[in-house]
Amino acid sequence: MDWLMSAEVYHNILIGSFVYAAFILVGAFMSKAPYGRFGAEGKAFSLSPRLGWFLMELPASVTFVWFYLHGQNAGEWVPMIFLGVWLIHYGNRGFVFPLLMRVAKGAKGTFGLLVVVAGWLVTSLHGYLNAVFISHLSTHLTPEWLTDPRFLIGMALYVFGFVMNVHSDAIIRNLRSKAEVESGERVYRIPQGGLFRYVTNPSYFTELVSFAGFAIATWSLGAVFVLLVSAANLIPRAFQVHRWYLKKFDDYPRERKVLIPWVL
């Protein structure tokens, strides 16, 4: 596996990853990814939302840790800080988030297996590109970097995005009571409070803010790839979700933007 740690191989994979992100953007605008409210219940090769989400996100943690530990700077302070940030982020996204999902009892699988398989490539690239850069190829992630404006601004953005992302997920989760989950009732309501006052998709907005902050804090093209591929997935879906709410609810607040408060 040492050849994957070389700068030449890394940069070739990075270029290919950016090309792949462009294809994802085109595909996301052309079709709805079959999970969540757009998943077909009981369709062949569909998984439960909890299992599907867990499996799709798992490679991001596994590949990052694997490649990080093989980096020559793995024991240095600044790379270890970013290791902690990564594990907290994907610990929440890949383990806590699916565990806390309120899935109606008896509901059939709605998470397309194809989404999981396609997601494996993306999340594996997430882990590889960031871990190799942070723990092996970077030359600027020294203790002096902790006072650099890029680190300070980037981490401030990341923390804001992460905290508000967790808050937005909690609002969505609590729209369905535990009693409704136990009864198997599938209920949809208009989310209120928090960033939902301004946009339909605050979870997507804050996820992008987090990745933008991480890209600035690490000053890494690998992190830029994570931001771009996330944007390629989430921006088209944000418009799809917004249209779904407008069609589903006659009283849906028309002043809410799709994704970015007061802008988009």
The answer to whether residue 261 sits within a structural domain is no
Which pLDDT score, from 0 to 100, does residue 231 have? Answer: 92
Which pLDDT score, from 0 to 100, does residue 116 have? Answer: 86
Which pLDDT score, from 0 to 100, does residue 50 have? Answer: 85
Question: In whole numbers, what is the pLDDT of the chain averaged over residues?
Answer: 89
The answer to whether residue 233 sits within a structural domain is yes
pLDDT at 158 over 60: yes
pLDDT at 72 over 90: yes
Q: Copy the structure tokens of residue 142.
A: 């020294």
Which pLDDT score, from 0 to 100, does residue 176 have? Answer: 81
Categorize the per-residue pLDDT at 97 as very low, low, confident or very high, splitting at 50, 70 and 90. Answer: very high
The answer to whether residue 172 sits within a structural domain is yes
Q: Using CA of residue 36, residue 94, residue 101, residue 262, what is the dihedral sign?
A: negative
Distances, alpha carbon 20 to alpha carbons 26, 45, 120, 236, in Å: 10, 25, 13, 16
Distances, alpha carbon 65 to alpha carbons 69, 81, 90, 111, 155, in Å: 6, 13, 11, 26, 21
Which pLDDT score, from 0 to 100, does residue 3 have? Answer: 84
Mean pLDDT of the 145-170 span: 97
Q: Copy the structure tokens of residue 117.
A: 């398989």
Q: Percentage of residues in the chain with pLDDT exceeding 90? A: 67
Q: Is 262 helix (H, G, I), strand (E, B) or coil?
A: coil
Domain total in the chain: 1
Q: Is 46 helix (H, G, I), strand (E, B) or coil?
A: strand
pLDDT at 38 over 60: no
Which pLDDT score, from 0 to 100, does residue 41 have? Answer: 54
Reported pTM: 0.89
The answer to whether residue 258 sits within a structural domain is no
Nearest by Cα to 42 from 107, 120, 129, 123: 107
Q: How big is the chain, counted in residues?
A: 264
The answer to whether residue 262 sits within a structural domain is no
Which pLDDT score, from 0 to 100, does residue 255 have? Answer: 93
Domain limits for position 79: 2-248
pLDDT in tens, 193-214: 999 999 999 999 999 999 999 9
Categorize the per-residue pLDDT at 43 as very low, low, confident or very high, splitting at 50, 70 and 90. Answer: low
